[in-house]
Chain A
Amino acid sequence: MDIVVLCKFVPDLVEDLEIDASTHLLDRNFLRLMPNELDDHALEEALLLKERHGGTVTVVTVDAGDVDEALYTAAAKGADRVVKIVGEGLDQGLSSQRLAALFAQAAGEWPHDLILTGTQAVDDLDGFAGALVAARLGMPYVGYVTKVASENGAVVARKEYPGGLNADIEIVGQAVLGIQSAEKPPRYVVTSKVMAAMKSVTIEEFEAGDAQADLELPITGMAVPQSAAHAEMIVGSVTEVAEKLAKLLRERGLVA
């Protein structure tokens, strides 16, 4: 099974974050980047699949700054190829839209039965990136995956739902999976192996084309959320609560 793992870099939250007043974006001068934690889980899951079923693992990231060490670390962990997408302005911060466009362009260049990525990131809590990549590539997407198994040629992804529910979803053909957590904590590879990878591994470069976002929303202003009216607590027996709720929804025109 050939797997492409998409990794992005996110602001490290141990540092104080500053907002640039003119762009309304994070001030990148004070930013320290780190690999997205859930992408690390995606890589781990990919490596586990490779160990079980063979194939290759290709790690793709965007050259957002100091990314080489993370790529060498991925190679030392067992990735077969490490790729960085290079181009103008990639270190200025990317929206999920733009990121997905770049990833979709690059991912197709390497063998992939599956594309794995972290299901969320600190700067993408809604978890758009993976789904957007899937949409661009015309593949199905499953997010919040905690386990990927391959049995008799069929890939089954276990998706976690709120409330302790799980679903095993069988996947036909290629797909993008958003990994919530790998089956095992991401492995730690000793520094000497990373150093050795720095000497022996070549990072492949992929020129970013004019991958445009479908939709970029400009930020026009920022404000601290104001607390408005307080929540109204609906009390009573189950039937009473249900009745009040239904009435309320009808009043607000949310249900017919």
Chain B
Amino acid sequence: MIERINFWGLHGAWHTLAVVVTYAALPLCALVLLVRLYLRIRLWWQVGRPEPRWDHINMRVQRLLKYAIAQVKVWRQAYPGLMHFGLAWGFFVFFLGTALATIDADIVKFLRGPLYLGYKLLLDVFTVIFLVGFVLAGYRRFVQRPERLTLTSPFALALGLIFLIVFTGLATESLRLASVALQPELQPGWRPALGWITPAGWLLAQLWLALGLTVPALTQIHLATWLVHAGLVAIFLVTLPTSALVHVITSPLNVFFSQLDRPDGRLAPAFQRDGLAGVATLRDFTWKQLMDADACTECGRCQDVCPAHASGQPLSPKKVILGIKNALTTCRAVLRGRNGNGQGEWPPFTGAVVEDAAAWACTTCRACVAECPVLIEHVDAIVDLRRCLLAQQRADGQLTTSLSNLRRYGNSFGKSDKQRAKWTTGLDFKLKDIRKQPAKLLWFVGDYASYSPALTEITQATARVFQRAGLDVGLLYDAERNAGNDLRRVGEEGLFELLGQKNLAALEKCQFEQIVTTDPHSYNTLKNEYAWNGQSVPVYHYAETLDQALRGGQLSPLRKLDTVATYHDPCYLGRYNGVYDAPRRVLAALGCRLVEMPRHRDRALCCGAGGGRIWMEEKNVKERPSENRVREAAQLAGVQVFVVACPKDLTMFRDAVKTAGLEGRLVVRDLIELVDEATRPLEPAPAVNAGAGAP
């Protein structure tokens, strides 16, 4: 019966050499690998702060299977997905194959007969898959050369090395096959099958046969190739910890230790050292944030989707992460200290490795996190930088004016709290003051919807729609304060806490069952970041409330809108909280035909206002994210209406439509306006003009 032959074709001294290489030299290299790797990764906990990441082990294992083994996020993009699948799984299968061969040779002989042939077939198929991946990678790296990639030699060398390892493996096999072919007395029963069981090896073997090599020559070349193969594997092992391929170890680790202890919409509390908040030097990161850096594969997907990067700002999430990685590489000197006793001075990280303007450019849209195949947490790191910058008074004047307003008045507009509910004076009914009367729904209106004169009519429309749906709604009136979502994200943790306490103190005295918000930003922080004294309070965005009302029949469209619309997912509703379907169902219920933009749901492009960007100066912008976005929508044939579900979006995109010269082509409308239009009882005049023309 056919079976796997250990050290085929090796006799005498050569056999001894092979045994030494396999059982002494390669294990030694593996040991070197482990030691070098340990010396690197121990920096994570030597330098980084502690952070518990050992909870939910079963979910961690699930994530490992999903993101490290099945690599679902790598597949978000077809070309790089296929390329990486070929290389990674090719290599992974060879690794498994080698492990099985070791078991077969040294523990229990089982690779024989059909099992052996299946084993060979699998390895051969994956050789081909690997080669496809290799060709795709070569084309991408040397021909396509996308901006997001790190096009430096270590990556090319790593690619070359794994190719040579696989190729010499294949060559070894083919030489053996050629030799078998010349010796009819060997494996007579299986001969016909060899061609299709090891197709790649068989094909290459035909080349050797065509060259007319004899059995002794084939055996000699086989030996040499095998030795080269083993030597390459040795190089691979020894260099792995500093090679571009180290991510085969660090990325799965990073996936395993990824964030599970809190929802995506909740930031970790600010860390303080010597009265200074956030990250000032490398040692202010947690060990996990340092691991993030070492897990980065430099694929650049995060940079590709970053709205700040696309608009010409000096921010690239990839560069932030690599900045941490480089700082980690050069920090050993600090750990040793200048004269060898104790730690030296930690060089500044914030403002030095990552420039101030880069940290401030982030909209905290989380597109980078959604895209990163190895679950790196960029936004948390960037907010940590901002906490430090703000504490060091390195924020722009416009931002600090807004912050001063927020501290003094509880809103970024610098208006009196008594004017917060001034918009209600335009209503022909009175909304309950929830501080005096209980209501089922507490409507948390938020700063923009309350104070922005441009939004008054829309906020009033929201009130009318709520009333039409028979919802029992109450307001906090002047007791409402900015919820603090963006405050927290510009790094003003103390003010976030202060305003949060004020809101909670006001809310505690009121009777309600649920909260509904206008602003996805308030929604996120109320839902995920408020402590609520340990109680759970259901928080909804109005898109969800309207969806419920429409489905429950409390609200019925009186007419079909017959509009062709596209919908922009707000970051804090979509990516942060997974609310994608409710607004789409609302549109469908109104009779709108939805045409999706290429970037929708968790790939939606940020409007550029989040993370406190709306309070900052806009400097050196190439193309505003909001303009880029409306242009994307304008490409869609037939779409007239650009639907949003966030007050900030409305402001941003109405501006963008003007500056991009798309007036007349696109109308930006809030979801609520459409609902109002479809459910408003018929007035004698004028006729409802579906979709066209701003109100």
Contact A192 B493 (CB under 8 A): yes
Q: Are B494 and A191 in contact (CB under 8 A)?
A: yes
Judge whether A193 is part of the interface by a CB distance below 8 angstroms: yes
Q: How far is the CA of A15 from the CA of B417 in the complex (A)?
A: 9
| Contact (Cβ within 8 A) B416 A190 | no
Are A190 and B400 touching (Cβ within 8 A)? no
Cβ of A191: which chain B residues have Cβ within 8 Å of it? 407, 492-495, 497-498
| Contact of A196 with B by CB under 8 A | yes
**Is A137 interfacial (CB-CB < 8 Å)?**
no
Q: Which one of A98-106, A141-149, A181-189, A202-210 is at the B interface?
A: A181-189
A interface residue count range (under 10 / 10 to 19 / 20 to 34 / 35 or more):
10 to 19
Write out, one digit per residue, whether chain B residues 379-421 have a CB within 8 A of any chain A CB (1) or not (0): 0000000000011010101011001100111000011101000
Interface residues of A in 156-214 (CB under 8 A from B): 185, 187-196
Residues of B within 8 A of A15 (CB): 416, 418
Q: Is B416 a contact partner of A14 (Cβ separation < 8 A)?
A: yes
Which of A12, A14, A34 counts the most B-chain CB atoms under 10 A from its CB?
Answer: A14
- Judge whether A190 and B414 touch: CB under 8 Å: no
Measured CA separation A187–B395 after assembly (Å): 9
B 112-133 to A, binary, CB cutoff 8 A, 1 in contact else 0:
0000000000000000000000
Within 8 A of B (CB), among A1-46: 12, 14-15, 32, 34
Q: Is the CB of A193 within 8 A of B391?
A: yes
| Smallest beta-carbon distance A11→chain B, Å | 12
Interface range on chain B (Cβ under 8 Å from partner): 20 to 34
Knowing A14-B409, A14-B416, A196-B275, say if A189 contacts B393 (CB, 8 Å).
yes
CB neighbours of A187 from chain B (8 A)? 393, 400
A195 — which chain B residues lie within 8 A by C-beta? Answer: 494
Question: Which chain A positions have C-beta within 8 A of B272?
Answer: 192
Chain A residue nearest to B390 (CB atoms) is A190
Are B415's CB and A192's CB within 8 A?
A: no
A192 is contacted by which of B277, B395, B399, B408 (Cβ under 8 Å)? B277
Task: Evaluate whether A193 and B275 lie within 8 angstroms (CB atoms) in the complex, with A14-B416, A15-B416 already known.
Answer: yes
Q: How far is the CA of A12 from the CA of B414 in the complex (A)?
A: 11
Q: Is the CB of A188 within 8 A of B494?
A: no
A97 to chain B, nearest CB (A): 29
Among candidates B395, B414, B415, B416, residue contacting A188 with C-beta atoms closer than 8 Å: B395
Q: B400 touching A188 by the CB < 8 A rule?
A: yes
Are B275 and A190 within 8 A (Cβ)?
no
Which of A12, A34, A185, A190 sits near B494, CB closer than 8 Å?
Answer: A190
| Shortest Cβ distance from residue A242 to the other chain B in the assembled complex, whole angstroms | 45
Mask, B523-535, CB within 8 Å of A = 1, is: 0000000000000
- B492 x A190 contact (CB < 8 A): yes
A185 touches B492 (CB 8 A): no
Q: Which of B68-118 contact A (CB under 8 A)?
A: none
Q: Are A190 and B418 in contact (CB under 8 A)?
A: no
Chain B residue with Cβ nearest A15: B416
User: Is the pair B494, A192 in contact by a Cβ cutoff of 8 Å?
Assistant: yes
| A188 B393 Cβ-Cβ under 8 A | yes
Q: List B122-165 residues whose CB lies under 8 Å from chain A.
A: none
From known contacts A191-B494, A196-B275, infer whether A14 and B415 are also in contact, taking CB-CB under 8 Å. yes
Q: Contacts of B493 on A, CB cut-off 8 Å? A: 190-192
Is there an interface contact between A190 and B397, defined as CB atoms closer than 8 Å? no
CB neighbours (8 Å) of A12 from chain B are: 416
What per-residue 1/0 map shows which CB atoms of B255-295 lie under 8 Å from chain A?
A: 00000000000000010100101000000000000000000
Tell me whether A190 and B408 are in contact in the complex, defined as CB-CB below 8 angstroms, given that A15-B418, A185-B400, A195-B494 are known contacts.
no
Q: Which residues of chain A are within 8 angstroms of B491 by Cβ–Cβ distance?
A: 190
In A210-229, the 8 Å CB interface with B consists of none
Q: Using Cβ atoms and an 8 Å threshold, which residues of chain A touch B409?
A: 14
> Among the interface residues A15, A190, A191, A194, which one has the most CB atoms of the partner chain B within 10 A?
A190
- What residues on A are CB-neighbors of B414 within 8 Å? 14
Q: State whether B397 touches A185 (Cβ < 8 A).
A: yes
Q: Are the CB atoms of B498 and A190 closer together than 8 Å?
A: no
Q: How far is the CB of A181 from chain B (nearest CB, A)?
A: 12
Decide: B404 and A190 in contact? CB cutoff 8 A: no
Query: Closest residue of chain A to B278, judged by CB?
Result: A190
CB distance from B604 to the nearest CB of A (A): 32
Chain A residues in 8 Å Cβ range of B393 = 187-189
Min CB gap B305→A, angstroms: 31
Given contacts A14-B415, A191-B498, A194-B494, contact A34 B408 (CB under 8 A): yes
Q: A14-B409, A185-B400 are in contact. Are A190 and B415 (CB under 8 A)?
A: no
Task: Report Cα–Cα, A185/B400, bound state, in Å.
Answer: 9
A188 touches B277 (CB 8 A): no
Chain B residues 634-675 with CB under 8 Å of chain A are: none
Contacts of A192 in B (CB 8 A): 270, 272, 277, 391, 493-494
Instruction: Give, as a whole number of angstroms, the nearest-CB distance from A128 to chain B.
Output: 26
Closest to A13 in B: B416
The smallest beta-carbon distance between A142 and chain B, in angstroms, is: 26
Q: Within 8 Å CB of B492, what residues of A?
A: 190-191
Q: How far is the CA of A194 from the CA of B494 in the complex (A)?
A: 9
Question: Nearest-CB distance from A80 to chain B (Å)?
Answer: 17
12 example contacts (A-B, Cβ-Cβ < 8 A) are as follows A14-B409, A14-B414, A15-B418, A34-B408, A185-B400, A190-B390, A190-B492, A190-B495, A191-B492, A191-B495, A192-B391, A193-B275
| CB-CB nearest 3 A-B residue pairs | A191-B494, A192-B494, A188-B400
Add 4 more A-B contacts to A188-B390, A191-B493, A191-B494 (CB < 8 A).
Answer: A14-B414, A188-B399, A188-B403, A190-B277
